[in-house]
Structure 1
Amino acid sequence: MVFVRTTPPRPVDVTTVFPELAPLARPAIRLHPRPGSPSVGESSVGGPLLWPAEEPWPHCEASHLHVDSGFRQSPDDVRLMRRMQARRHRDHHGRGGMTPGEAALKERNAMRRAERFAAGPPPADCPVPMLPVAQLFLRDIPLLRPPGQADLLQVLWCPYDHDPDHKPSTALFWRSAAEVVDILAIPPEPYEVNDDGYLPEPCVLAPEAITEYPNSLDLGPQLRLMLEDWNRWQAAGADVDSSYADWPRDFYDIHLADAPGWKAGGWPPWGRTDPNPRYCTVCEVQMVPLLTIASFEWDGGEGHSWAPCEEQAAAKAGGHCCGQSPSRPTKVAVGSTDNMQIYICPASPEHPHTDLIQ
């Protein structure tokens, strides 16, 4: 099914008020993930990967000694819990227990869990199968700059936090889709997940090209002072609510700068820290944003101005629909419901990538 999501026009054309920002415009593609059943031949978040049967599935080789198994859940348990929550939300009166199918699945999960614990937890240094996070085809996300003849990016992560930043470690794979003939049917899954927010819900995508401007923290002192000049906004005839008179820079950051949500390219969503440029460990070139993995598609309150036109009513109403938060379709949560930014080297995408929580 093809669906469309459209970002509402920004309340102000920022380059009319501040022509100085025009050279800083960057292209970005909002992915707009929404729950669905993507196939291996589609771009997706949390969906199945077009993975060659002859290629070993990636495993995290780091030690997971700090992981407390007593408070974790298997991927199957997380999926069952989500399915039950969605069904309960669909039942407007909140009635009903488990269906026979859910009860049978819960019993099977419990038996498997008992068998695993009887055998003892896996060693802390046991390699852990990584989980699919995103699959992006160049035909859908033309901002990608793949190496050679590659036309597909696959992103996976370890389902456990890693020191020193307490975030999942990530792995990137570039490949040519046409070269994948025999597809791996059943990828291995981890024993358990550190947090249910590390198991993305399968989502289809509705990519949308937009133009972004940098967060005010990425601007020089002079530009930041201009953003804070309320008289400049008024002189340009900008239709800005007078409640922002004392904080016009906040209006810029909330409504006009970098878009929230899952996206390719664009500008980083600073806020948790000041700007922290990343440099390639091979050639020392400053790295550029490749992918933003977001906990939310838009912020609550005034931030819902970024909610797609097709979902503005749901965004303003808040709450849940069929067990889903409209602004958190992937059920991913990184950091304290923050964003993970993946960076690559613009000179060579094959150089080691890096990531950062914001």
Structure 2
Amino acid sequence: MGSVRTTPPRPVEVTEVFPELAPLARPALRLHPRPGSPSVRDSSVGGPLLWPAQEPWPHCEDAHLHVDSGFRRSPTEVRLERALQLRWRPDRPAPTLTPAEEALRERNAAWLAERLEAGSPRPADCPVPMLPVAQLFLRDIPLLQPPGRADLLQILWCPYEHEPDYKPATALFWRSAAEVGEVLATPPEPYEADYPGYVPEPCVLAPEAITEYPNSLELSPELQLMLADWSRWRASGADVDSSYAKHPQEFYSTHLGNAPGWKVGGWSPWGRTDPEPQHCAVCETQMIPLLTIASWEWDGDESRSWVPLEDQAAAAGSYFAGQAPSQPTRVEVGSTDNMQIYICPASPEHPHTDLIQ
């Protein structure tokens, strides 16, 4: 696990201003992924999986778009480019690969050349090995509600976009960590990814329990009207900047409702689309948020109040391209949006669904 991360107290205790919201509180766990070197025994984003050696690695067999995004690179190329970005400084010579990285680059180039021999099928026409997105142990993420004796959730995706929603296809696997014997040492990797943002950077986690409230779009019309009533905010004595006087509901949405970033549980981060309840394809139960896969842990000044105390100095400082402290996983989905994964609360083994929001 990573070091501790602490969300600052909310600028306003929202249920003191609007006690009507108290019944809508939900627990969530901010994962706070940060670059690191997780092992197969760690909860992680983009890290190695505790995958049984005797179990086939998941491949995506869906149809893949043949239109080259212009950004396609192998996962190894993406990681090496990022390593150079992290070392770049304007007052120093251009960084170069270390001997170990150069050897990796050469091995990767030979592998790519072998894959592209005459007569080989196009990379997107083959079953595509999926990439690890997250591995979550119940001991670290107690909000998980695994089926049976499972205590481990593994999430992977295909790094190609899929029609009709133009997003990676996801796969979920629940398992018991104690029942994994020999671990797969070298999982297969895809030939390429549509975008670098579909290659998660290995990150350790620092889970933190918080309480969330619904996105304002999910509130009843009556509650939305109350949030928009500036006189109600002022009468409560809440310390809200007068710049929000015309649209105080934006203060709620930005600082009080639900947290940005990677998280388990809580409420969905609607905004790109209006709320749309998801129902289980098997039993029609309304599904609940499982994991939010975020492009950013915080986004500029708007969500700066959510920056953990331990990251505020880095967030306030300057940085160069590819070094943003608010994008530790280097994941980008949609137009730097979120991917929300939903599961069935009646049976987590029922098919999940996901949306870009």
> What range describes the TM-score normalised by the shorter chain of this pair?
over 0.9
Unaligned runs of 5+ in 2: none
Shift of 1:99: 3.8
Whole-Å separation in 2 of the counterparts to 1:174 and 1:291: 14
Q: For residues 108 and 52 of structure 1, do their structure 2 counterparts lie closer, same or farther at Cα, with a shift above 3 Å needed?
A: closer
Q: For residues 254 and 69 of structure 1, do their structure 2 counterparts lie closer, same or farther at Cα, with a shift above 3 Å needed?
A: closer
Whole-Å separation in 2 of the counterparts to 1:297 and 1:69: 26
Q: Give the aligned residue type for 1:338.
A: D
Whole-Å separation in 2 of the counterparts to 1:124 and 1:106: 22
Q: 1:114 corresponds to which residue?
A: 113
For structure 1, which segment, 176-185 or 117-126, has the greater mean C-alpha deviation from structure 2 after superposition? 117-126
Q: 1:60 corresponds to which residue?
A: 60
Q: Give the aligned residue type for 2:151.
A: D
Q: Give the aligned residue type for 1:88.
A: W
8 Å contact kept, 2:112–2:191: no
Name the SS of the counterpart of 2:255 in structure 1. Answer: helix
For 1:63-88, what per-residue CA distance to the aligned partner results, in whole angstroms no more than 9, with x for missing partners? 22424287521111111111111121
Q: Give the aligned residue type for 1:113.
A: L
Q: For residues 121 and 87 of structure 1, do their structure 2 counterparts lie closer, same or farther at Cα, with a shift above 3 Å needed?
A: farther
Q: 1:94 corresponds to which residue?
A: 92
Q: 2:342 corresponds to which residue?
A: 343
8 Å contact kept, 1:160–1:194: yes
For 1:216-245, what per-residue CA distance to the aligned partner results, in whole angstroms no more than 9, with x for missing partners? 000010100000000000000000001111
Whole-Å separation in 2 of the counterparts to 1:250 and 1:288: 25
Whole-Å separation in 2 of the counterparts to 1:62 and 1:77: 24
Q: For residues 318 and 229 of structure 1, do their structure 2 counterparts lie closer, same or farther at Cα, with a shift above 3 Å needed?
A: farther
Within the alignment, does 1:288 sit opposite 2:284 as a pair?
Answer: no
For structure 1, which segment, 306-315 or 8-17, has the greater mean C-alpha deviation from structure 2 after superposition? 306-315
Q: For residues 206 and 97 of structure 1, do their structure 2 counterparts lie closer, same or farther at Cα, with a shift above 3 Å needed?
A: closer
For 1:289-330, what per-residue CA distance to the aligned partner results, in whole angstroms no more than 9, with x for missing partners? 000000000111131110101111222335349x52110000
Q: Give the aligned residue type for 1:98.
A: T
Unaligned runs of 5+ in 1: none
Q: 1:239 corresponds to which residue?
A: 239
Shift of 1:98: 1.9
For structure 1, which segment, 73-82 or 101-110, has the greater mean C-alpha deviation from structure 2 after superposition? 101-110
8 Å contact kept, 2:65–2:160: no
Q: Give the aligned residue type for 2:330.
A: K
For structure 1, which segment, 283-292 or 99-108, has the greater mean C-alpha deviation from structure 2 after superposition? 99-108
For structure 1, which segment, 174-183 or 311-320, has the greater mean C-alpha deviation from structure 2 after superposition? 311-320
Shift of 1:2: 4.5
8 Å contact kept, 2:35–2:202: yes
Q: 1:353 corresponds to which residue?
A: 352
Q: For residues 69 and 209 of structure 1, do their structure 2 counterparts lie closer, same or farther at Cα, with a shift above 3 Å needed?
A: closer
Whole-Å separation in 1 of the counterparts to 2:92 and 2:87: 9
Q: 1:166 corresponds to which residue?
A: 166
Q: For residues 72 and 121 of structure 1, do their structure 2 counterparts lie closer, same or farther at Cα, with a shift above 3 Å needed?
A: farther
Q: Give the aligned residue type for 1:211.
A: T
For 1:85-125, what per-residue CA distance to the aligned partner results, in whole angstroms no more than 9, with x for missing partners? 11214xx5131352452444444433333333333443644
Whole-Å separation in 1 of the counterparts to 2:34 and 2:337: 19
Whole-Å separation in 2 of the counterparts to 1:57 and 1:256: 41
Name the SS of the counterpart of 1:191 in structure 2. Answer: coil
Whole-Å separation in 2 of the counterparts to 1:320 and 1:100: 21
Whole-Å separation in 1 of the counterparts to 2:241 and 2:70: 51
Whole-Å separation in 2 of the counterparts to 1:266 and 1:97: 42
Name the SS of the counterpart of 1:224 in structure 2. Answer: helix
8 Å contact kept, 2:146–2:348: yes
8 Å contact kept, 2:63–2:162: no
8 Å contact kept, 1:318–1:326: no
Q: Give the aligned residue type for 2:15.
A: T
8 Å contact kept, 2:65–2:161: no
Normalised by the size of structure 1, how large is the TM-score? 0.95
8 Å contact kept, 1:213–1:258: yes
Within the alignment, does 1:298 sit opposite 2:298 as a pair?
Answer: yes
Number of paired residues?
Answer: 355
Within the alignment, does 1:250 sit opposite 2:250 as a pair?
Answer: yes
Whole-Å separation in 1 of the counterparts to 2:156 and 2:49: 10
Whole-Å separation in 1 of the counterparts to 2:39 and 2:168: 25
Whole-Å separation in 1 of the counterparts to 2:43 and 2:67: 32
For structure 1, which segment, 220-229 or 98-107, has the greater mean C-alpha deviation from structure 2 after superposition? 98-107
Whole-Å separation in 1 of the counterparts to 2:311 and 2:184: 36
8 Å contact kept, 1:67–1:194: no
Whole-Å separation in 1 of the counterparts to 2:41 and 2:98: 33
Whole-Å separation in 1 of the counterparts to 2:28 and 2:300: 22
Name the SS of the counterpart of 1:251 in structure 2. Answer: helix
